[in-house]
Structure 1
Amino acid sequence: MRILRSLHRLLRQSAGRPAGPGSAASFAAPSVGRQRGPARLATRDVLALGVLRLRVRPMRAVLSALGISIGVATMIVVVGIPASSKAALAQQMDRLGTNMLKVTAEQTGHTPLPEQADAMVARIGPVSSAAAVGNMPSVPVRRNEKVDQGDTSGVSVIAARGDLKDTFEASAWAGSLPERGAGKLPSVVLGPTAAHNLGITSLAPHKGIGPQLLIGDKWFTVTGILRSMPLLPELDSAAIVGWQAAKDQLGFSGHPDTVYLRANESALDDVRAVARATANPQRPETVTVSRPSDALAAKQLTETAFSSLFLGLAGVALLVGGVGVANTMIISVLERRTEIGLRRALGAGRGQIRVQFLTESVVLCLLGGGAGVLLGTAGVAGWALAQSWPAVLPLPAVLGGLGSAVLTGAVAGLYPAVRASRLTPTEALANA
């Protein structure tokens, strides 16, 4: 009865064609002057009719809009998380710099770089610092002599020469970085992964001596643990020893495998062009030059490619939600035949019936879309907080989510609205 009273109140001003005394139309809307058709409903009345049924059956409305909410939330999350990751990457790039080049000797032909390759590269004008590293894959790293030599805990040994702080932008999580001139001392600096694998969590001395490692058959003192270096992930699982100590005690050849350099950003392409011939003048074709920051950018592109797949899943969720809304609206038309017949008898035209049901479908999906935006925003903010990223929510994603919800509601409600408008008063009230 509440619905019928509301309809009677809303339709009192929507008069039909002049009716004779005593007719249903004359009681619903007395004629004032001659009108050719039913009056148009005000926008407020159309919205009121669209929301009225949702208020009467709130649980059905919530369940119907659930699919729309999931689809929009998925869309927001899929767009927002890569955007947050990209912002974090940009901050990381600004902090680490994109002006590092990696000069590497050919591995397949076993052609090493000259012993002074890092010094020759450092003489290039725009180069501000350079450091060389040499791999020693056959040298094991053990906590003590009781550990089998084949059990290296996944830790590789490398020799390093040059300013690690300036070139690698390295910093110590514990202890300190090796000072200049300390390359002859039997000391070692561990990457964070290497320290974890070897079970070294602090550098607290025992009986006045810091943690010891057996590298090859020589004892080295751990003097520092590095922080993770995103541009140089190969150093995270390495035990870094001094250049001269590696030659004197570990049988290192003295030929670097890789030279890292920092150069003026504006001249980076020019440095890249001459670095191969400078690092190995005799065989420049065996040298490759790359920029470590390009790997991080490639990783970001990979994440973006995966996000396209999840956008497809969001579209599927919206489709399923739209089918659910369409099914709900069709059932609503069947349940409300009496209401439709009464409205038609009171003078409502087919267009007004179509607008009523179409508005109801759009409002239902719009509410679901709004809930999806809130859920998606919370998901993006939570994930960004867990990863220590800046939370970024692109405005096009929000507008696209709401727009797709409205479009889904319009498409889902179109057929039920047309079906309702085709019911004649006699047909609609036949089973009342």
Structure 2
Amino acid sequence: MRQAVLLIHGIGEQRPMDSLREFVDAVWTRDREVQRPGANAGAFWSKPYTLSQDFELRRLTTGENRAGHRTDFFEFYWAHLMHGTTMGHVVAWAATLLWRKPSRVPKELRGAWVLIWLLLLAGVGAALAFALHRTQVPPWVPVLVNAVVLPAAYAVIRNIVGDAARYLHVSPRNVQRRHAIRSAGFKVLKSLHKQGYDRIVVVGHSLGSVIGYDILSHAWGAWHTEDTGEGTKNFTVTEALENLAAEHAEHGRFSIDEFRKGQHACFDELRHNGSRWCVSDFVTLGSPLAHAPVLLANDAEDLKRRFEQRELPTCPPTLEASPRGLRFTYTDGERRTLLHQAALFAPTRWTNLYFPARALVFGDAIGGPLAPLFGPGVVDVPVCTKARLGLLSHTLYWSPGSVEGDDAHLAALRRAIDLAGAGAQDSPEMPGAGRATRTSSSMATGRTSG
């Protein structure tokens, strides 16, 4: 078996291959359980990346693991496509986020929204106080502000926050940047599908998870109706998966383990029927999709409408009424059974890792659970690390822990990617956590009992 892992990096001044090398070291080199014992255990080799015309990128390939699988690691590098960012882009995006009624701000973000407004008002108030009362300012203050504070703030806002502003704010000035990134990612994913891989795993960190979600959505929409050749097709497993989704929609009952095993079987069934779709898993790390009502839509109602109209895929897929009941498949004019354009997460499993946030600075305030928004088929895995005392953990998803044994987050990441190809394994929960059937009340919070 040959498998590929495509890593999509997050915001900031990323250098080509830096993230990928650290990632491969975490999920392959330091994972003794997946390696086949031998002289080259844990080794990987850097080879030409023939799928890209960017000569800064390479393919990192491993030997066989314990299951006899070889893995090629790729990076979709998009930072160089995000150029021309100005403070105007950031201010325009910030205005759309801040200038709204408190009732339209998701409760998870309400604290940060109030804090930002208080800081802005405090800054304006301080400026007015100095101007009106002609308060004497120590001479070192303007020097410090102009030489250190303002340049540092400008660099962070323009080079880091600016990436999010350009990609997430749908305005005429940003459309070309969004198009360039999505087109390049689509091309890489399409090229991977032509390489004969049995399985592809897409991993997105931070803004890279949003880019990954978009790329997969557009790719599935382009290929879900492809001609899979002659012969009788069997959709028994797909129909069983539809029944699980319908059971949830009608009665609120949902077994996450049964659903994920059904997704794995659906992936195999579609491949057996001739489909070229190879993405078995989507793994998100510290994903801003947790704030989708603000970032992908105008508010929660608008996001719900986009789900219902199948503009955005959910997990399980959005169902629609048919003579056979609630389905995500349909029969076209050629009598072919097809999965609809938003049924991406029928054959593709979705696992989301996040550091729970506390007081904005502990854990990861950017990420969070996704199942409450995108559906109970998303497996949310809260993770933890003692590195940096838990402060600002957004960049630590594949970083080693600060002390021996501080590797629970790495173990969860390795289970989600599943290089050993266990395939139909139970959901990658935290060590020692049990699994149970989700009820309607547990799905409302995106958590499971157990």
TM-score when normalising by structure 2: 0.18
Larger Rg belongs to: 1
TM-score when normalising by structure 1: 0.18
Greater relative CO (CA pairs within 8 A, separation 6+)? 1
Higher helix share: 1
